Structure 1
Amino acid sequence: MASELHETIFMAKQERHKNLFLNYRNLNNFPVELLKDEGLQFLERLYMKRNSLTALPENLAQKLPNLIELYLHSNNIAMIPQAIGSLVKLQSLDMSDNALQVICPEIGQLRSLRHLRLANNQLKFLPRELGELRELETLDVSMNLLRTLPEDLHQCESLQCLTADRNLLYCIPRQLCSLPDLSELSMAANCLTSLPLDLGRSMELQFVFVDNNALLKGLPSYLYNKVIGCSGCGLAAQVSDVKHLSLALGAVTVPLPSEVKAIGLETDRVLPLEELACRVLHADGDQSGRGDVNFLLPKSLLDVVRWPLGHCHRCSQPMFTIVYPKLFPLRETPLAGVHKRTTVSFVAYCCSSQCLMTFDLQG
C-alpha cells in the first residue's frame, strides 16, 4: 500500500496533475511526499476522504498554494491549523465527519471560499469571522453541538444554502433574515421555540425546513407562501408493518437476511446480491485486517471491496453499487403552488437501515 501511494504521488508530480485522489488509503498521517521540496505547486483538487488523519500540516498552504478544493470528509482531525488561512485560492472545504471541537478564526481569511461543510463534528460554537466569507454560498454545520449561530453570518451576502440540522439551537438570529441570496434554510431536529417574525420576508427564500423541533408551536406568516417540510435530516426513519420472513427448504428453515426482513412495503427496495456480498466481504476485511477471504479474491473484486463508492450519511454503511437519481420529497403548504419547485439530488438508499440520504461520492 505504501509503495502504491508513493507511486501515485510521484506520477502526480511528474505529470503535473491538477487532481489527486487519496481516498480510502488508511492514512494515519499526511503523506510527506506531498510536502517534499517544492510540494505540488500545480495541484488544485485534493481528495483525502475516509482515512484516519488526525492533523493537517502547518505548511499545507506553502506546499499546496494553488488548492481550490480540499476534501477531508470522514477522518479524525481534531483541529484546523491557523495556517489554513493562507490557502487564499480555496473555494471548497469539506471537513465533515471529523473530530473538530473548535474552528480557528483564521478561516475568515479564506475570502474565495464558496462551500464550507463541517457536518458531524463536535463544534459548540462557530467563530464570528465566518461573516468575513463574502463569497460563501453553502454552509453545512449539521450534526454538531451548536446552541447558537453567530450573528455575523448575515454579512455572508452570497450565502444561498444554510444547513444546521440536528444541533441544540434554540433560536435563529434575526439578522439572518436579511441575507439577500438565501434560498434554503434547514434547521431540522433542534430545540427551536420560535422563529423570527420576518423570516421568509425575502422573496429569495423558498425552502424552509424546521421539522422535528418539538417546542416550536407556530410559523411566521411570511412562511405560508413558501415550500416547507421535512428535510430527512431529523429523527431516524421508522420501519412499520415489518414482515418477518423465512425460506423453507424441506425440513430446514433458513432465516432470511435482516435486509430482506425489513421489507414492509411494495415500494421498498431490495439490495442486489452483489451489493450485499461486497458489504459482507468489506466488513470481514475490516475485522480480520484483510484476512484470508479477501486474500483469495481476484484483484478486480478486491479493489471494489476495499474502496466503496461511498457511505450512507445516516448509518455510515459502505455503499458499492447503488446510486439513484431521485426526487427529494417536499411537503408543501396549501399556498405554495405558485412557488412549486422540485429538487433533484443523488441519494443512496440503504435497505438495512431504511436510509434515504445524500450520497457521499468518492471524488
Structure 2
Amino acid sequence: MQNYTSDSDSESLNKVLDFTHQILETGTMEHYLEVFINDEKRTAEEIETIILNYNHLETLPINLFKFVNLKTLDVSYSGLCVLCDIFKHSSITTLIAKNNHLSNESLPKTFTSNPKVREINLSGNHFTAFPEQLLDFPYLKYLYLGSNQITMIPRNIKKLKSLNVLCMGGNLLVDVPETLGELVNLQALVLCDNQIGSLPANIANLKHLKSLLLHKNLLKALPPEIVGLKNLNELSLRDNPLVVRFVSDMMHDPGSLLELAGRTINIYGIKVKQGDIPQTLISYLENAHRCVNPQCKGVFFDNRVEHIKFVDFCGKYRIPLLQYLCSSKCIKNNEEVVRPNRSYMVKKVLLG
C-alpha cells in the first residue's frame, strides 16, 4: 500500500511524496505518513510536495504539519468535507483541493494570513458564496473557484491586488462589481458559463489583461472601453445574446448600398456638394456615428461592420469583433486611419 516516491538520483523526485489513487481514509493516511516520517532513508524535511489525490479523506491528516518544508499540497478528488487552517503551515505556497465536497461551512472563520501563499484552487466544490477568508492573502497570484454555485463576487475583491489569474467560470454570477477593475495585475479573467448580463466600464483598467473568457453568459453588449485593452489576445464570447444577434444580423441583414456608399465617401475623403450625389445620401452622411476609438476619424452608419470572416471553432463561429469599430483599418497612427501593419487589433478582437 505504501507508495511514496522511492530513493532516486533526481533531487526533484526526492522532494515529492505521492499517495495518488491509494483509496485511503484519513486515519490510514495518517498512519502511512507517520511511517514515512520515521523512515531512516528519507526525512520529512526533504519533502516539498505532497499529492493525496483520489483517496477518501474527509479531513486533512494532522501530521501534515510535520513536513516543515511543505510548499505544495494537492488533495483533489478525495471527498474532502472539512478544510482546516492548513496555512498555519508557514512554508506552504500552493493548495489544490478541487473536486471535493467543500462548502462555506467547511472552512474555519479565518485563515492564518500567510504571505507566502501564491495559489489556491477550490474549483469543483459546493461553495455558494465567495470564501471571503481568501481575501486575507494579499500576495495571492492564482485563484481558482470555478464550478461552484457562487452567486456574487464581493466588492472587496480589490484586496487581492497581486492576482494574475482569477477563474470563476461555471458559477451563478449575475454581475461583476466595479472594484474588479482595481485588480490591475490581472492577466487572465475567466467568467464563462455564468448569468452575467453586463460588464463595468472600468474593466478597461485591466491593462495587463491577456485573456478574457465570457462565453455562455447573458451579455447583450460590451462596454466600448474594452477596445482599450491593447494586450488582450483572447476574448471568448460565444453563446451570448450579443453574438447570436450579431451573427443573425450579418446573415440576414447585410449592409445597404446607402451604408456602403456613405462609408466609401468617408474612407476615401471624397468631397461632395449639393447636386453631386442624391440628397438622401447627403442627409445620410450628416448622421454618421463616430468610432469609439478617440484617435480615429472614421465613422459608421447603420451597419458598423466592414468585413466578417467566419471560421469554424469547436463547432461554433469565430468572428472579428468589429461592431465597435468603424472599420477593420481602425488602427491609430498619428491622427489618420491607415491599413494596419501591426497584428494586435486582430488578435484581441477574435471571438472564441
Alignment of 1:70-219 (within 5 A): 70-82=73-85, 84-102=86-104, 103-107=107-111, 109-214=113-218, 216-219=219-222
- Report SS of the residue matched to 2:111: helix
| TM-score, length-scaled by structure 2 | 0.60
Distance of aligned partners of 1:228 and 1:218 in 2 relative to their CA distance in 1, 3 Å threshold: farther
Superimposed CA distance per residue, residues 171-193 of structure 1 (whole angstroms, 9 cap, x where no aligned partner): 11211111121011111111112
Unaligned runs of 5+ in 1: 235-328, 343-363
One-letter identity of the residue aligned with 2:236: C
Equivalent-residue separation in structure 2 for 1:151 and 1:167 (angstroms): 17
Residue 253 of structure 1 is matched in structure 2 by: none
Cα displacement (A) at 1:228: 4.9
Counterpart contact for 1:157–1:181, Cα < 8 Å? yes
Counterpart contact for 2:5–2:16, Cα < 8 Å? no
Counterpart contact for 1:111–1:132, Cα < 8 Å? no
Equivalent-residue separation in structure 1 for 2:173 and 2:139 (angstroms): 25
Counterpart contact for 1:156–1:179, Cα < 8 Å? yes
Equivalent-residue separation in structure 1 for 2:54 and 2:237 (angstroms): 25
Residue 289 of structure 1 is matched in structure 2 by: none
**Is 2:321 aligned against 1:333?**
yes
Distance of aligned partners of 1:157 and 1:233 in 2 relative to their CA distance in 1, 3 Å threshold: farther
Counterpart contact for 1:69–1:90, Cα < 8 Å? yes
Equivalent-residue separation in structure 2 for 1:198 and 1:98 (angstroms): 35
Superimposed CA distance per residue, residues 302-341 of structure 1 (whole angstroms, 9 cap, x where no aligned partner): xxxxxxxxxxxxxxxxxxxxxxxxxxx9865347942566
**Is 2:218 aligned against 1:230?**
no
- Report SS of the residue matched to 1:162: strand
Equivalent-residue separation in structure 1 for 2:70 and 2:237 (angstroms): 32
| TM-score, length-scaled by structure 1 | 0.58
The total of aligned residue pairs comes to 239
Equivalent-residue separation in structure 2 for 1:88 and 1:233 (angstroms): 44
One-letter identity of the residue aligned with 1:158: S
**Is 2:69 aligned against 1:66?**
yes
Greater radius of gyration (CA): 2
- Report SS of the residue matched to 2:205: coil
Counterpart contact for 1:105–1:128, Cα < 8 Å? no
Which segment drifts farther, 113-122 or 41-50?
Answer: 41-50
Residue 249 of structure 1 is matched in structure 2 by: none
Equivalent-residue separation in structure 1 for 2:74 and 2:146 (angstroms): 17
Equivalent-residue separation in structure 2 for 1:55 and 1:177 (angstroms): 36
Cα displacement (A) at 1:133: 1.3
One-letter identity of the residue aligned with 2:321: T
Cα displacement (A) at 1:117: 0.9
Residue identity (%): 21
**Is 2:223 aligned against 1:220?**
yes
Equivalent-residue separation in structure 1 for 2:192 and 2:44 (angstroms): 41
Counterpart contact for 2:5–2:18, Cα < 8 Å? no
Candidates 23, 26, 31, aligned match of 2:20? 23
One-letter identity of the residue aligned with 1:118: L
Equivalent-residue separation in structure 1 for 2:51 and 2:239 (angstroms): 25
Counterpart contact for 2:33–2:63, Cα < 8 Å? no
Cα displacement (A) at 1:157: 1.7
